[in-house]
Amino acid sequence: MILAQARSGSTFLREALNDQPEIVCHGEVFSRVWISRMEPQAGAEPAPAEEIRRIMPERDADPLRFLQDHIYAFPGQITGFKVIYEDFFHDGLSEILADHARTRGLRIYHLRRLNPVAALASRMRMARYQLSHSDAPGAQQDPNTVGKLKMEPAALARYTSWQNDLASRVDALFPDAMQIRYETLAQDFPRILADLGLPDRRAFGSALRKMTPQNLEDAIENYGDVAAYDHPAQPIWN
């Protein structure tokens, strides 16, 4: 189970994991609004929207049955899924999944993005310009062409405190989780593979493109107001 801060590279990581023939990693299957990127069986098409709508009440009524019937149903494969902080801590789900993780012996990977300016800018751009992932329907071909955002220092401080609190709650539930970071994901990837019992020298990559400029001055109109918090540096993956 990947427990991730939103906009922390979790989809990029999921794609890289799914490039491994032994792994099936689903997307945000516990999203409050949708079942996102649930992997189909080999050779099958992804579930149509009507089926997702039918499954959602079943998932909400019995999350563990949903996992057994739809997420773990890949015999012989290493299977997993990812959950974003806000979904994990919604409506008692954290207690259910934490108990399930301990009972089943799930490996837990805690993914964070340590640069708060980059993380908040990515969230703001997704909300305003629908810049979610480069493979999303209607995604901008060049995310650098959209307008700049204004980021208030007070809003950044509130966001940082909120995310740090959620991260601390995750660590309290899973003190033995493997800590991985957006900024060092390429270096962390071999550790994940080794933890899953796979060769750790496999390539790390994805067809996805980043949706925020490398230089955040190109995305934030009042960059000088938040520049002091723009660290660590953003990685270059692709």
pLDDT of 139: 47
3-state secondary structure of 179: strand
Cβ-count burial of 110 within 10 angstroms (0-12 exposed, 13-18 middle, 19+ buried)? buried
pLDDT of 208: 64
Helices and strands (H and E) in the chain: how many = 9, 5
DSSP string, 41-104: PTTPPPPPHHHHHHHHHHHHH-HHHHIIIIIS--TTSEEEEEEEHHHHTSTTHHHHHHHHHHHH
pLDDT of 147: 84
Residues 6+ apart with CB under 8 A from 183: 113, 114, 115, 232, 233, 234, 235
Read off the amino acid at residue 208: L
Residues 6+ apart with CB under 8 A from 8: 111, 112, 113, 119, 182
Domain residue spans of the chain:
2-229
Rounded-to-integer distance, Cα 94 and Cα 87, Å: 9
What is the phi/psi pair of residue 25, to 5°?
-120, 115
Q: Which CATH number fits domain 2-229: 1.10.620, 1.25.40, 3.40.50, 1.10.3470?
A: 3.40.50
Query: For residue 137, is the peptide bond before it cis, meaning its omega torsion is within 30 degrees of 0?
Result: no
pLDDT of 163: 98
Averages of pLDDT over each 10 residues, the chain, 238 residues: 96 95 97 93 88 95 96 96 98 97 98 97 86 50 72 98 98 98 96 98 78 87 98 81
Rounded-to-integer distance, Cα 170 and Cα 85, Å: 8
CA distances (Å), origin 77, targets 21, 46, 68: 8, 18, 14
The residue count of the chain comes to: 238
